[in-house]
Structure 1
């Protein structure tokens, strides 16, 4: 996996200091959620040089990309990665991985997670279950649902395409942020839901609120500001 950092709050605020880190699995390509204006203008110029039929198809893809970026940024999504993996029959299966932050509107994020995890433990038929992650307590929710699929103009006479997908979500939080971290994986490969669940859990287990590039503390060193150890020293001397 590739370790990457993310700030808390809007995905567009790249200058904000990261408060959590995560790993991206092999086979996933990160999409740019904040493409520079020059790159967009270059894509438009390239699109205008295509033959009419190809230009229409490329324009639809570009509009889909722009719409997805706008939607994801409005939902505080920090990561949008598309996965391509070979299936046993030689075809390619796809999936979409997103990592986002959800504000808790003044509530304690840890208490919110603990409450949801408790609900999951009390009602195993709800499709949720509690998780013990390296970064702390979390929960897993999964479902199969029907959704609109990309690939056809929704204004066409045939209408939009629909398809069934498996959706898995892990929620967690930590001392570095007042927000809830949501890791979500979606795939139309329903027959591989067990495999993608393992991928989702693998990503969730990489979540950390400690900068992995910082040197490991020595026994005599002062705890890092904002860490759990620093808080305990402050409370208990």
Structure 2
């Protein structure tokens, strides 16, 4: 578990205020960077040795493109994770937390209806109810093919493709008719069990009550304990 407690405080008339903790090995990125911040990052990349500069430049361009795309999405939290992989290479993943309006409908009923509608899909395809400290949540996961980063080899028609595991926990917040989603995506499909544990551990830290206010009253933070320890131990 990282040391800081994140807060995504938005307009309470349209979106919920929520707090969360990032799991071990994840770094939250700013997808609303200032012009000065982007210029400074570009300057630092330009000052690296040639080999490192080429790799860093690719990462910088990917970050800039991702930040641009996320500005038009209801994403409140965007974090990159890096952990040891089974083959000795780094295993990369993306963690996002979003707040989506259910357009005035009761979000619990919306998600419960989706569970009923997917009842015959099987445990890995349909929505599964999960108990969370913030209330009932709904887990879904799938393996899908998507566009992979990188330049296609010469002569190849169309972009590169890759396989990713995607897991999502949807948590209803009835006070604002919103659904908060915690989503994990990784190309390390073989580590799906580990990433599912991290996803559920992150969802268990989600709270709609300000934990700093509770701590000030002497009741202690709302998000502590075994969930954080479990996430930290998933990759050692």
Is the shorter-chain TM-score for this pair beyond 0.5, marking a shared fold?
yes
Range moving further from structure 2, 109-118 or 62-71: 109-118
Write out aligned runs for 1:4-153 (5 A).
4-8=6-10, 19-47=17-45, 59-120=57-118, 122-125=119-122, 126-152=125-151
**Given the two structures, how large is their TM-score scaled by the length of structure 1?**
0.76
Partner of 1:90, secondary structure, is coil
- Does 1 or 2 have the higher relative contact order (CA < 8 Å, sep 6+)? 2
Aligned 8 A contact 1:5 1:18 in 2: no
Partner of 2:112, secondary structure, is helix
**Given the two structures, how large is their TM-score scaled by the length of structure 2?**
0.76
Q: 1: CA distance between counterparts of 2:50 and 2:15?
A: 45
Match in the other structure for 2:223:
none
Superposed CA deviations along residues 149-171 of structure 1, whole A, max 9, x for unmatched, are 1132x696544321111100110
1:117 CA drift (Å): 3.4
The runs of 5 or more residues in structure 1 that have no matched partner are 10-15, 219-237
CA RMSD in angstroms comes to: 3.0
The runs of 5 or more residues in structure 2 that have no matched partner are 219-236
